[in-house]
Amino acid sequence: MVTINKDRIKYLLSLHKMTTEEFLSAVSKNLKTALTWEDIYCDTLPVNTLKRVDSVFKKGLFYYADPETPKISKSVSVFFRKDSFETDLNLGSRQRVREFEDLKIRLNTISKMSDVTLKRKLPIYNEHSNPRDVAFAVRDKVLPDFTSVKRDFLKNFINKLGEQNVIVFEFVDTSNRKEKANVDGFYLSPNAIVLKRRQDSFSREIFTLAHELGHYLLNKEEIEEVDVVAFTRQDTSLSVVENWCNAFAFYLLIGQDNATLLDSISRFDGSNDYGHDLVKQISETTNISRLAIFTNLLLQRKLSYDAYQNIKDEILEELRERDARKALQKELDKQNGIKTQGRNPQPIQADIVKDIFSVALSSGVIGEQEYCKAMKIKPSEINAFRYL
């Protein structure tokens, strides 16, 4: 048995916006007899039960033994600052939010201790600003030079934002992770953006990053599934802020010249083959998806709804066929004894994060153990890694 501060469990429920029913369901997973609130809200708990509790909150067992109960404060979490979100967040999403809120707070703390300045460089706008004008105004400051290798472009985009003191984190939901996030990204005040890796669609992840940058420029926190075609579904109505961020992301990625080119065409219909060749060319030179471009044309009423639906279905069918071919090839390779690389993709680590930890290590603010853990390296690699 372990003595705990049971009120810390109540605090964590508030911090994760969890009901007791949801919590009990999570801690009772795979048990023949479900745990009750009375089994858990006690001054002493069996170690195995405490481990089940921590499998939800991931704070470490020592956290629950602290006699001091944390106070609910808006400065601690977006869950205390906001009452609702654009997406109904599952447990995996809430776990990710808490993970990166803790990391953001830690980074900002060691930055101050190491005399690293993370002062905001980009201005704050509001939703009454024209998102197109804002996108063109900040484009040179936040967007890297184009490269057709989308992962490289995404990495360069992340590091370009780092130059503006915007910290971008990326996470990967591996196949063996029990609780997977149902969101694409989120912005956490004052300076952090978090992205979910989209290994099968870097264009979508790039658009998500641009969208969350919109939230940063508006200084409006959100945790969401970014859906550029959401407004085409009858049961969906996007908020003013979401529409602003989608428009900002579109114009940021497409650029002024391409936007002007699309402006010059009054209608996309059978007479110009619905602009397929032009849209493909723009998509290939900007890393924005064809579907996002066609969606914008629909929004501007330059493309009929029926034509848009047909084009959308064609694009989605192409993607399904591509995925089916990949799955078939993987199965054929397996049958023929061909080994495929099974390593999980690694999240992109922003240069600014490495720089903050490196300065903190050199300044004696953190030790080698924390540095190696943050950089995901072995102690024997520390000297070589610091000067990469």
Q: Rounded CA gap, 53 and 47, in Å? A: 10
E strand or H helix that includes residue 291: helix 290-299
DSSP states of 39-50: HHSSSEE-HHHH
Q: Rounded CA gap, 168 and 107, in Å? A: 12
Residue 378 confidence class, pLDDT cut points 50, 70, 90: confident
Question: What integer pLDDT is reported at residue 381 of this predicted model?
Answer: 79
Is the pLDDT at 187 greater than 50? The verdict is yes
SS3 label, residue 189: coil
Tokens read off for 171: 């996470």
Q: Rounded CA gap, 215 and 189, in Å? A: 10
Question: What integer pLDDT is reported at residue 45 of this predicted model?
Answer: 93
Question: What integer pLDDT is reported at residue 341 of this predicted model?
Answer: 62
- From 66-80, 94-108, 321-335, 362-376, the region with the lowest mean pLDDT: 321-335
Residue 380 confidence class, pLDDT cut points 50, 70, 90: confident
Question: What integer pLDDT is reported at residue 319 of this predicted model?
Answer: 87
Is the pLDDT at 68 greater than 80? The verdict is yes
Buried b (16+ CB within 10 A) or exposed e, 328-340: eeeeeeeeeeeee
Cis peptide before 70 (omega within 30 of 0): no
CA dihedral 250, 252, 257, 261 (to 10 degrees): 10
Question: What integer pLDDT is reported at residue 236 of this predicted model?
Answer: 53
* Better pLDDT: 336 or 189: 189
Q: Rounded CA gap, 165 and 156, in Å? A: 14
Question: What integer pLDDT is reported at residue 345 of this predicted model?
Answer: 84
SS3 label, residue 197: coil
Question: What integer pLDDT is reported at residue 233 of this predicted model?
Answer: 45
Q: What tens digit of pLDDT does each residue of 4-60 get?
A: 999 999 999 999 989 999 999 999 988 989 999 999 999 999 999 999 999 999 899
Is there a contact between 215 and 191 (Cβ–Cβ < 8 Å)? no
* Better pLDDT: 302 or 230: 302
E strand or H helix that includes residue 156: helix 150-162
- From 69-83, 106-120, 139-153, 327-341, the region with the lowest mean pLDDT: 327-341
In DSSP terms, 193 is beta-bridged to 168, 187
Q: How many CB atoms lie within 10 A of CB 218?
A: 21
Question: What integer pLDDT is reported at residue 255 of this predicted model?
Answer: 96
Question: What integer pLDDT is reported at residue 328 of this predicted model?
Answer: 85
Question: What integer pLDDT is reported at residue 87 of this predicted model?
Answer: 84
Is there a contact between 150 and 287 (Cβ–Cβ < 8 Å)? yes
Q: Rounded CA gap, 20 and 12, in Å? A: 11
| Residue where the block lists tokens 């023929």 | 336
Q: Rounded CA gap, 62 and 4, in Å? A: 9
Side chain identity, residue 142: V
* Better pLDDT: 143 or 74: 143
Q: What tens digit of pLDDT does each residue of 145-160 get?
A: 999 999 999 999 999 9
Is there a contact between 244 and 125 (Cβ–Cβ < 8 Å)? no
Question: If you average pLDDT over residues 363-374, what whole number do you get?
Answer: 89
Question: If you average pLDDT over residues 86-99, what whole number do you get?
Answer: 90
* Strand locations in the chain (E): 2-3, 44-45, 167-171, 185-188, 192-196, 222-224
Give, in order, the Cα–Cα distances in Å from 245 to each of 187, 207, 248, 321, 327.
Answer: 12, 10, 5, 31, 35
Is the pLDDT at 384 greater than 70? The verdict is no
Sorted by sequence, the CB contacts under 8 Å of residue 330 that are 6+ apart come out as 340
DSSP state of 282: H
Question: What integer pLDDT is reported at residue 327 of this predicted model?
Answer: 80
In DSSP terms, 196 is beta-bridged to 171
DSSP state of 186: E
Q: How many CB atoms lie within 10 A of CB 381?
A: 13
Q: Rounded CA gap, 376 and 362, in Å? A: 18
Is the pLDDT at 235 greater than 60? The verdict is no
Q: Rounded CA gap, 230 and 237, in Å? A: 8
Mean per-residue pLDDT of the chain: 90
Q: Rounded CA gap, 379 and 373, in Å? A: 9
Question: What integer pLDDT is reported at residue 268 of this predicted model?
Answer: 96
* Better pLDDT: 66 or 326: 66
Tokens read off for 123: 């201005």
Q: Rounded CA gap, 102 and 59, in Å? A: 10
Q: Is 273 exposed, middle or buried (0-12, 13-18, 19+ CB in 10 A)?
A: exposed
Is the pLDDT at 234 greater than 50? The verdict is no
